[in-house]
């Protein structure tokens, strides 16, 4: 049976965006749609018969560093990174439509491709909106952060510092009163089943339909909640990544550790702490007797130039820890019974993966929605601690004592571990029915809209 229509899905370049874009594409393809998925690298294996992968041409420039000592720190989110041109979408559409020039005027025949229903653009790839409009393709924005972060970012963009109350906070009309914008742009956010107020707020503010389709985690994550997850098996479409420690070696090392004893440390692929802060983290790990896995991804290594040479050498000698350059099998680590806690930047993917496996979090957010996610983890769900007690805004860098105190506090707190297991139970029933229904509603909406435009 031929696909009922085609949807473009354009991902941003980092894995925190490519993973959910890929999962969304698979779920759309399973509903009988053709999906053209734009990714920065080609998967090792075909994803689905209905998914066609097109490579993005150019990676974006690295984001500017965030200096926690800067006096100019804004209480509101920074604007998105400056847009860069990538001709891949334009090239695809020009070949796809040829002389017809638009989705609405393309001729239909038995040999023609299915109708173009819409383009789903990552919110960080908005430079392609105008291109899609030129071809008459409706655009749907794809937010890979939580709905609470998206709602608060929208609310904050409409405020000025003068709007803040003397307490440094602002209750946003249309959102729960106990979830204000504050001077650190922190927001307590709900777990996935309780995001309805934020989705309703976004829909009202935008005057457009909004669909909550996440958490967009792999099918195997949902189907094997009580097993150690293999990243190779869970994400077979993942492009082979450079790493200094293979997944099998990581799992063998974890097998040799005591249950609930290992601290896992990983920051994002795009931003991370300053080199001086990473040195403080290394010093805290040197003084601790806790077994650990510390992952320094290629992007962070390039942007900071820091690598803990002495710590790596000593950890390898004593077998107390693993220091990994490049890619690490995060799902396998978080789902292993030896893993006790996760020191994380609180990107949304990492946050949901930790919650889904019941792993408490030591939160070290850097910027953007990571701040909201950290607040969710530490204050609303109470399944983690901040790496340090919050001070005014983001002022002041993290010190060795902050890290050491946070590690010991988190690892010793049985209440947090119990609450993390309670939150984990949310994920034991598979992909949420409400999210599946939202994807169905989205497909119905774009199909109906195409019929109305074509008639």
CA 434, 439, 442, 448 dihedral sign is negative
Report pTM: 0.79
What's residue 53's pLDDT? Answer: 94
Distance CA 193, CA 190 (A): 8
Cα distances (Å, whole numbers) of residue 57 to 27, 126, 323 = 25, 16, 32
Sheet holding 6-10, edge to edge: 51-55, 34-39, 6-10, 116-122, 139-142
Instruction: Tell me the CA distances in angstroms from 227 to 339, 427, 428, one per residue in order.
Output: 13, 13, 11
Listed as ranges, residues in the chain with pLDDT below 50 are 65-66, 68-82, 107, 161, 164, 166-167, 183-191, 391-394
What is the structure's pLDDT at 304?
65
Contact predicate 120/87, CB 8 Å: no
Assigned token pair, 370: 């990571």
pLDDT digits (tens, 9 = 90+) for 212-232: 888 888 888 888 777 887 776
Q: What does the block give as tokens for 318?
A: 């004593």
The residues pairing with 55 across neighbouring beta strands, listed in sequence order, are 39
Q: How much is the pLDDT for 234?
A: 73
Pick the CATH number of 225-429 from 3.40.50.1980, 1.10.3720.10, 3.40.50.2000, 3.90.1300.10: 3.40.50.2000
Q: Which CATH number fits domain 6-214+432-454: 3.40.50.1110, 2.10.25.10, 3.20.20.140, 3.40.50.2000?
A: 3.40.50.2000
* Structural domain boundaries in the chain: 6-214+432-454, 225-429
Residue 92 has a pLDDT of 93
């Amino acid at each position: 049976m031929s696909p009922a229509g085609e949807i473009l899905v354009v991902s941003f370049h980092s894995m925190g965006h490519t993973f959910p874009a890929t999962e969304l594409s698979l779920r759309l393809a399973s509903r009988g749609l053709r999906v053209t998925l734009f990714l920065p690298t080609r998967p090792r294996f075909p994803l689905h018969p209905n998914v066609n992968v097109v490579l993005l041409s150019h990676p974006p420039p690295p984001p500017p560093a965030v200096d926690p000592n800067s006096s100019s720190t804004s209480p509101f989110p920074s604007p998105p990174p400056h847009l860069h041109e990538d001709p891949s979408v334009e090239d695809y559409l020009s070949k796809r439509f040829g002389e017809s020039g638009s989705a609405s005027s393309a001729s239909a025949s038995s040999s023609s491709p299915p109708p173009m229903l819409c383009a789903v653009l990552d919110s960080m790839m908005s430079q392609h909106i105008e291109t899609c409009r030129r071809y008459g393709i409706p655009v749907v924005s794809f937010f890979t952060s939580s709905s609470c972060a998206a709602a608060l970012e929208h609310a904050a963009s409409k405020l000025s510092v003068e709007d803040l109350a003397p307490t440094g906070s602002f209750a946003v009309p249309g959102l729960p009163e106990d979830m204000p914008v504050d001077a650190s742009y922190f927001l307590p956010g709900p777990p996935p089943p309780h995001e309805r107020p934020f989705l309703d707020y976004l829909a009202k503010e935008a005057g457009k339909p909004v669909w909550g389709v996440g958490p967009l985690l792999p099918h195997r994550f949902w189907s094997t909640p009580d097993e150690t997850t293999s990243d190779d098996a869970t994400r077979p479409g993942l492009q082979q990544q450079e790493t200094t420690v293979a997944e099998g070696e990581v799992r063998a090392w974890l097998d040799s550790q005591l249950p609930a004893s290992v601290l896992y440390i990983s920051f994002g692929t795009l931003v991370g702490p300053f080199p001086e802060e990473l040195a403080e983290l290394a010093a805290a790990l040197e003084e601790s007797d806790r077994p650990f896995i510390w992952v320094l991804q290629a992007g962070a290594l390039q942007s900071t130039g820091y690598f803990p040479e002495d710590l790596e050498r000593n950890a390898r000698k004593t077998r107390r820890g693993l220091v990994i350059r490049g890619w690490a099998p995060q799902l396998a680590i978080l789902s292993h019974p030896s893993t006790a806690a996760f020191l994380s930047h609180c990107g949304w993917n990492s946050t949901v993966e930790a919650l889904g496996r019941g792993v408490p979090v030591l939160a070290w957010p850097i910027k953007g929605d990571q701040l909201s996610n950290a607040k969710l983890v530490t204050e609303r769900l109470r399944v983690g601690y901040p790496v340090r007690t919050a001070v005014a805004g983001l002022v002041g860098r993290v010190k060795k004592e902050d890290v050491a105190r946070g590690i010991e506090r988190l690892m010793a707190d049985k209440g947090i571990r119990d609450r993390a297991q309670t939150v984990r139970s949310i994920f034991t029933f598979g992909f949420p029915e409400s999210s599946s229904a939202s994807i169905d509603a989205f497909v119905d909406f774009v199909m109906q809209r195409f019929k109305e435009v074509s008639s």
